[in-house]
Amino acid sequence: MMRRLLAATLVALALFPGQRSQACTNIIVGRKASADGSVMCSYNCDTFGYSGWLTHSLGGKHAPGEKIAIRDFWHPGEIRGYVDQPPQTYNVVNYMNEHQLCIYETTFYGRKELIDPEGILGYDNVMQLALQRCKTAREAILTMGKLMDTYGYRDPGETFTVCDPTEAWIMEVIGKGPGRKGAVWVARRIPDNAICAHANHSRIRKFPLNDPENCLYSKDVISFAREMGYYDGPDADFSFREAYCPLEFVNMRLCEPRVWSVFRHHTDTAYMDSFLPFLEGRFDECDELPLWIVPDKPLTLQNVMADMRDHYENTPLDMTADVSAGPWASPIRPRAKSFTSNGKQYFRERPISTQQAGFAAVAQLRSWLPDAVGGVTWFNLDDPGMVAYVPVYCGTTEIPAAFAAEHNRDGIFDEEGAYWLCNWVSNMVYPRYGAMIGDVVAAREELETAFLSEQSTVEKEVAAMKPAERTAYLNGRTDDYTRRMMSRWSRLARELIVKYNDQPGTWTQTFWDAVARDTGDRYLVP
């Protein structure tokens, strides 16, 4: 299973080294699909060469004519242009603002001729500008479209998660190419009782044209496709994905399995396994996963955290089960996305949880609580499978030192930075995963259990406070949680080197059998 390669994939594989991000994953949970009535969403920001930190921008009032500089995300010293400021902007921590509006993303590589290098706004700029000036998901979607039309959009295709405490949306965007300012886009509201996921591949196909409560789109999303020769059928049959991100085996094969795995955790596995022909590239048998599903039972916060730590365990794609998992059954693979053997090219699995994640986040948005504490981002830096999530409240206005950029710079080890401390632990564990992961899980659960048990107290205390008192209190709580995580992880790093010094333990039988096959009688005891 899963060995079928199409000839067209070789070209796509060759393109992978130039792509910054091919394993971000978002999960979206409607308020009636969650166990506590919250809207939830998640994000692992996964890319090579990005150390990660907790971003923050303070809101405030702005004078007429005031502008904000638009900087390149990957080269922050580069200013691409300026955008007019609105009269009022809001506090934003990570990708959630003070009104519990949250926006996450994954990049898809659709029609590359639609990238406009002259556009001022990249995907991160669009997200941050909308968070700084909007209160609801619906407002943010319309604002993002207007910003791209006004200032131009420069990045590849993008899928956005856009959520507030009552509504959850998925939005897909792609530019119009050089010399054509703006973007075409479509957004669909996730039913309140459903869950959705996306992972670097366009997910929206056909959409309702006359249902503004549940579907929004740019006025030229179909006419532009006709103009470019991407579509010539009736409007009612138009598919955003088919027009702007035509199905290719490799891009699909490394992306859609992450969505499949999330859904498989929360509905009938036999039903989800019926989509395996699609994942194998047999598009004539099946050419899509559902955009959303109704889960068999409501999801808890811990369910979403567990989904973000997935490596396809106990599925036909289980990354711990074959010889490429090495002697310690590790789901971690080296950075190369492909390899060659005997003149043939092969791909590597791309799970939700991967080692090159800059940060991971799970957001809770709760309408029945004051905004300052109702919106909480469970956050940490590095691989979501290897860290404990720390609660960061949207009422926070000060970033804990361990999450600040100055301690988490790429290529400069700093024990005061969460990114480097967490990587210290995870990179000890990766080569001996099967022996050591239990220690990480125990430490992770110790912290998360304690943090979760304290939330009801925090919520009650904040509800009784005046708004002016809440900020200092939540800054202190967020800082305390971060310090506790750093202390426990520093101790874990030292425990691991002592407990596993000189590699105690044994290899998996799968690996022993591979060694015996490869070496023949060299080590055979007569």
Helices (H) and strands (E) in the chain, counts: 16, 21
Closest CA to 382 of 422, 351, 411, 415: 422
Can you tell me the distance from the alpha carbon of 228 to that of 369, in angstroms, rounded to the nearest whole number? Answer: 48
Percent of the chain with pLDDT over 90: 86
Q: What is the mean pLDDT of residues 39-61?
A: 89
CA dihedral sign, ordered 516, 517, 520, 526: positive
Which residue did the predictor score with more confidence, 75 or 189?
Answer: 189
Can you tell me the distance from the alpha carbon of 163 to that of 203, in angstroms, rounded to the nearest whole number? Answer: 17
Q: What is the pLDDT of residue 20?
A: 44
Instruction: Name the least confident of 26-40, 73-87, 122-136, 159-173.
Output: 73-87
Query: In this model, does residue 326 exceed pLDDT 70?
Result: yes
Q: What is the pLDDT of residue 151?
A: 97
Model confidence band, residue 46 (pLDDT cutoffs 50, 70, 90):
confident
Query: In this model, does residue 4 exceed pLDDT 60?
Result: no
256-297 residue pLDDT tens = 999 999 999 999 999 999 999 999 889 888 888 999 999 999
Answer whether residue 72 is part of any domain: yes
Q: What is the pLDDT of residue 9?
A: 34
Model confidence band, residue 76 (pLDDT cutoffs 50, 70, 90):
confident
Contact 58, 51 (CB under 8 A): no
Query: What's the length of the chain?
Result: 526
Query: In this model, does residue 18 exceed pLDDT 60?
Result: no
Answer whether residue 150 is part of any domain: no
Q: What are phi and psi of 438, to 5 degrees?
A: -60, -35
The sheet carrying 56-57 orders its strands as 56-57, 92-93, 96-97, 102-108, 157-163, 168-175, 183-189, 215-217
446-471 residue pLDDT tens = 999 999 999 999 999 999 999 889 99
340-352 residue pLDDT tens = 999 999 888 999 9
Model confidence band, residue 17 (pLDDT cutoffs 50, 70, 90):
very low
Q: What is the pLDDT of residue 353?
A: 95
Model confidence band, residue 73 (pLDDT cutoffs 50, 70, 90):
confident
Answer whether residue 513 is part of any domain: yes
Percent of the chain with pLDDT over 70: 95
Q: What are phi and psi of 339, to 5 degrees?
A: -150, 160
CA distances from 119 to 81, 186, 233 (A): 9, 20, 30
Total domain count, the chain: 1
Q: What is the pLDDT of residue 311?
A: 97
Closest CA to 15 of 316, 250, 315, 341: 250
Q: What is the pLDDT of residue 138?
A: 98
478-498 residue pLDDT tens = 999 999 999 999 999 999 999
Answer whether residue 15 is part of any domain: no
Answer whether residue 515 is part of any domain: yes
Query: In this model, does residue 48 exceed pLDDT 70?
Result: no
Closest CA to 202 of 260, 243, 149: 243
Q: What is the mean pLDDT of residues 142-164?
A: 97
Q: What is the pLDDT of residue 379?
A: 98
Phi-psi bin for 152: left (phi > 0), alpha (psi -120 to 50), beta? left
Q: What is the pLDDT of residue 348?
A: 87
Answer whether residue 208 is part of any domain: no
- Dihedral Cα 459, 470, 392, 126, nearest 10 deg: 120
Can you tell me the distance from the alpha carbon of 244 to that of 324, in angstroms, rounded to the nearest whole number? Answer: 35
Residue 326 domain boundaries: 20-103+163-170+190-197+255-526
Say which residues have a Cβ less than 8 Å from residue 395's Cβ, sequence separation at least 6: 91, 98, 370, 371, 372, 373, 375, 462, 470, 471, 474
CA dihedral sign, ordered 142, 201, 403, 309: positive
Can you tell me the distance from the alpha carbon of 32 to that of 27, in angstroms, rounded to the nearest whole number? Answer: 15
98-141 residue pLDDT tens = 999 999 999 999 999 999 999 999 999 999 999 999 999 999 99
Query: In this model, does residue 2 exceed pLDDT 70?
Result: no
Answer whether residue 33 is part of any domain: yes
Query: In this model, does residue 1 exceed pLDDT 80?
Result: no
In 134-189, which residue ranges form alpha helices assigned H by DSSP? 137-151
Query: In this model, does residue 13 exceed pLDDT 60?
Result: no
DSSP 3-state of 240: helix
Strand partners, 84: 67
Task: At 466, list the tokens.
Answer: 């005046």
290-324 residue pLDDT tens = 999 999 999 999 999 999 999 999 999 999 998 99
Model confidence band, residue 334 (pLDDT cutoffs 50, 70, 90):
confident
Can you tell me the distance from the alpha carbon of 347 to that of 350, in angstroms, rounded to the nearest whole number? Answer: 9
Query: In this model, does residue 16 exceed pLDDT 50?
Result: no
Query: In this model, does residue 234 exceed pLDDT 70?
Result: yes
Burial of 193 (0-12, 13-18, 19+ CB in 10 A): middle
Q: What is the pLDDT of residue 315?
A: 95
Answer whether residue 12 is part of any domain: no
Contact 198, 257 (CB under 8 A): no
Q: Letter for the amino acid at 100?
A: Q
Task: At 285, list the tokens.
Answer: 């048998």
CA distances from 410 to 46, 319, 358, 419, 421 (A): 14, 28, 10, 9, 13
Q: What is the pLDDT of residue 49?
A: 64
Contact 295, 266 (CB under 8 A): yes
Q: Letter for the amino acid at 326?
A: G
Q: What is the pLDDT of residue 72?
A: 82
Model confidence band, residue 10 (pLDDT cutoffs 50, 70, 90):
very low
Element (H, E) at 398: none
Query: In this model, does residue 82 exceed pLDDT 70?
Result: yes
SS3 content of the chain, % helix, strand, coil (to 5): 35, 20, 45
Burial of 402 (0-12, 13-18, 19+ CB in 10 A): buried
Mean of all residue pLDDT scores within the chain:
93
Question: What angle (nearest 5°) sits at the alpha carbon of residue 485, between those of residues 471 and 94?
Answer: 50
Can you tell me the distance from the alpha carbon of 406 to that of 473, in angstroms, rounded to the nearest whole number? Answer: 24
